[in-house]
Amino acid sequence: MRALLLFLDGIGLGDDDPNLNPFAAARLPTLNALSGGHKWLRTTPRLDSGRAVFIPTDAQLGVAGRPQSATGQAAILTGRNVPAEIGEHYGPYPNEAVRAILAEGNLHTHLSARGLRTARLDAHPPHYLAELERGKRLRTAMQHAAYVANVPLPSLDDLKACRALSADFLGDGWRTVLKLSDVPVHTPIQAGALLAELTRRYHFSLFSTWITDEIGHHRDLGRAIAFLERFDAVLAGLLDAWDDSEGVIVITSDHGNLEDLSHRKHTHNAVPSVIIGAARHQIADQISALTDIAPALLSLFG
Ligand SMILES: [Zn+2]
């Protein structure tokens, strides 16, 4: 059994409005096939499309306020109602209380303790890793969960050696934004196939991208559509290379944002969770909120 958690920060289920919601406007054949031909919108119900179960997932967790990254990510990785425990939705970076909860146990530490191999598969730029190391930059909740489990964040070397992918999936941002001319740039099909291959080296892999949330905060519909269409094409490559009997792919998010570009804030919307693979039948019924994902994945590993 293996599991890949494919985490897209800040995507929720919004209205069928192509002027405000890139999930309504973009051409997303792979995503929409996973949800039975429906777009990923608030009107799309829980359903099994034959290869995946699509689950509108509660990110509010009974706590007032707009869901935030630190508590949402910590809920996903620990299975605990972290916003309820600390009394608020908190983010973007975890405070002392959230860090303590992550250190008490998260998917990485629980699975490592069972002798299973866990990894992050998204590479981080050299200056970013150096700033984390020096304490000049705070770790996100996802990064802190890996840190307390001694799971390294992949580096530029890992990206170059195709042991990790870029948060933009293809790697072109490392050339255009970071001005690193010698990193590999993949086609979407290649990136998806590489993700499948890397996942086979571990029992549990986590690929996280922050770009969806960043685009939401900037309210850039054109960029949002382009990035979702890129994700769709990468997912097509991943699903081509993925054998449904080998494990599960879980796509999820921590809170809404990108699906409502009428404002720059997070939303109260449910987020999409999609469970792909034959073993989806063992866990999908357990999942209706962010806190259900970690227990479901742990149960898969016995
Ligand atoms: Zn977030």
**Average of pLDDT values for 6-19?**
98
**Average of pLDDT values for 247-270?**
98
- The predicted structure's pLDDT at residue 256: 98
Separation of CA 26 and ligand 1 centre (Å): 21
Separation of CA 246 and ligand 1 centre (Å): 29
Separation of CA 245 and ligand 1 centre (Å): 31
Separation of CA 221 and ligand 1 centre (Å): 18
Separation of CA 10 and ligand 1 centre (Å): 5
Separation of CA 231 and ligand 1 centre (Å): 17
**Average of pLDDT values for 21-43?**
98
Beta-carbon contacts of 232 under 8 Å, excluding residues fewer than 6 positions away, are 26, 27, 28, 29, 30, 31
Q: What is the 3-state secondary structure (H, E, C) of the chain?
A: CEEEEEEECCCCCECCCCCCCHHHHCCCHHHHHHCCCCCCECCCCCEECCCEEEEEEECCCCCCCCCCHHHHHHHHHHCCCHHHHHCCCCCCCCCHHHHHHHHHCCHHHHHHHCCCCEEECECCCHHHHHHHHCCCCCCCHHHHHHHHCCCCCCCHHHHHCCCCECCCCCCHHHHHCCCCCCCCCCCHHHHHHHHHHHHCCCCEEEEEECHHHHHHHHCCHHHHHHHHHHHHHHHHHHHHHCCCCCEEEEEECCCECCCCCCCCCCECCCEEEEEECCCHHHHHHHCCEHHHHHHHHHHHCC
Q: Output 23 or 180, whichever has higher pLDDT.
A: 23
Question: Has residue 28 got a pLDDT over 90?
Answer: yes
Separation of CA 280 and ligand 1 centre (Å): 25
- The predicted structure's pLDDT at residue 1: 95
Separation of CA 69 and ligand 1 centre (Å): 4
Q: What is the CATH number of the domain that holds 13?
A: 3.40.720.10
Whole-prediction pTM = 0.98
Separation of CA 91 and ligand 1 centre (Å): 8
Query: CA angle, corner 220, sides to 217 and 224, nearest 5?
Result: 95
Instruction: With cut-offs at 50, 70 and 90, classify the pLDDT of residue 181.
Output: confident
Separation of CA 92 and ligand 1 centre (Å): 7
Question: Has residue 302 got a pLDDT over 90?
Answer: no
**Average of pLDDT values for 249-268?**
98
**Average of pLDDT values for 260-278?**
97
The domain tally of the chain equals: 1
- The predicted structure's pLDDT at residue 44: 98
Question: Has residue 30 got a pLDDT over 90?
Answer: yes
Separation of CA 8 and ligand 1 centre (Å): 8
Separation of CA 142 and ligand 1 centre (Å): 10
Separation of CA 215 and ligand 1 centre (Å): 12
- The predicted structure's pLDDT at residue 165: 98
Considering only CA atoms, give the Rg of the chain.
Answer: 18
- The predicted structure's pLDDT at residue 39: 98
Structure confidence by residue, pLDDT tens digits, 188-203: 999 999 999 999 999 9
Q: Which residues surround ligand 1, an ion (CB under 5 A)?
A: 9-10, 69, 213, 254
Structural domain containing residue 256: 2-300
Separation of CA 187 and ligand 1 centre (Å): 27
Structure confidence by residue, pLDDT tens digits, 225-239: 999 999 999 999 999
Separation of CA 252 and ligand 1 centre (Å): 11
Question: Has residue 218 got a pLDDT over 90?
Answer: yes
Structure confidence by residue, pLDDT tens digits, 97-149: 999 999 999 999 999 999 999 999 999 999 999 999 999 999 999 999 999 99
Q: What pairing do the DSSP bridges indicate for beta strands 52-57 and 47-48? A: antiparallel
Percent share of the chain, pLDDT over 70: 100
